[in-house]
Amino acid sequence: MLAADVKLLKPANVNLIETDVEELDITNFDDVKKFCAECQPELILNCAAYTAVDKAEEEVGTAYAANEAGPKNLAIIAANLQIPFVHISTDYVFFGDGSHPLSETDTCAPQGIYGKSKRAGEFAVENAGGKWVTIRTSWLYGKNGHNFPDTMLKLASERDKLTIVNDQKGSPTYSYDLAEAIWKLINKNATGYVHFSNSGHCTWFDFAVETVSEAKKLGIIPKEKNIDFVPVSSDEFKRPAPRPSYSVMSTEKYTEITGAPPRSWQEGLHAFLKEKLGVGR
């Protein structure tokens, strides 16, 4: 999902060498070393991750392989080649029991296996000995992958009643905007941890309501269709993996580095829905 938008927004002077699991298993150090020796990159950008939050509780080894071992191998190779390494992480590295936007220096205390494996990957990148930037993002959605807005649109077309969690707060992030942010941070030679999401925050309930409301305006869903939205608590909607109740991140550092504050989550969502119709962003 993210890599497709990274490619779409690639600067003209950049030669992007794409690879996926079919060509390269990043959890195999020797394979990574050989691949990089052949293509001689000047920067490594890792968009790969295991992101099935609930399934990670059962597939622990797979989650850690993709989210810790893979980034570790890439970061070590980047350090050995003396080139920058760019890594993508998540708001789920935080416990999420606060009420103020989280900064890059706030304490991490992930709850579930997904968050713990991503935090382990952050540690591995930090300790590899090279030049790195880890960009944390949240509630990511985009054109080229399974995502929350598409799920809501599908359910809204099939049902008259939607039950949505209303006690988890975060910042939805359009993958197109994250890809644009990645290139800006690379251009600015950013290092360390940087938070990026679309600005503002909402609950999953708010996100669903805004998605369907805007979809009706655009004609994606019939305007006359009535949908009853029912807010519920996390306790009423049990999931295998725990989620942060508040994982809104501060993007002040990103704005200071780039001079470009993120657009609002509503603007990002509206752009995504317009893209689905093929009428631009």
Domains of the chain from N-terminus onward: 2-277 (3.40.50.720)
| Strand ranges inside the chain, DSSP E | 44-46, 85-90, 132-137, 140-141, 161-165, 169-170, 173-174, 192-195, 202-203, 228-232
* pTM (2 d.p.): 0.97
Catalytic positions, please?
114
The DSSP-derived string for 52-92 is -TTGGGT-HHHHHIIIIIHHHHHHHHHHHHT--EEEEEEGG
Q: Are 120 and 253 in contact (CB under 8 A)?
A: no
Identify residue 100 by its one-letter amino acid code.
H
pLDDT of residue 167: 96
- The 10s digit of each residue's pLDDT in 85-125 is 999 999 999 999 999 999 999 999 999 999 999 999 999 99
Distance between CA atoms of residues 247 and 108, nearest Å: 11
Cβ atoms 92, 115 nearer than 8 A: yes
Q: How many whole angstroms separate alpha carbon 170 and alpha carbon 246?
A: 6
What parts of the chain have a pLDDT lower than 70?
A: 280-281
Report the candidate in 125, 153, 150, 155 with the shortest Cα–Cα distance to residue 140: 150
CA–CA separation, 44 vs 186, rounded Å?
11
Q: Using alpha carbons, list the distances in angstroms from residue 89 to 166, 171, 188, 278.
A: 24, 14, 19, 30
The residue among 233, 219, 259 whose CA lies nearest residue 166 is 233
**pLDDT for the residue numbered 277:** 81
Token digits for 203? 């609950």
Q: What local confidence, expressed as pLDDT, does residue 76 receive?
A: 98
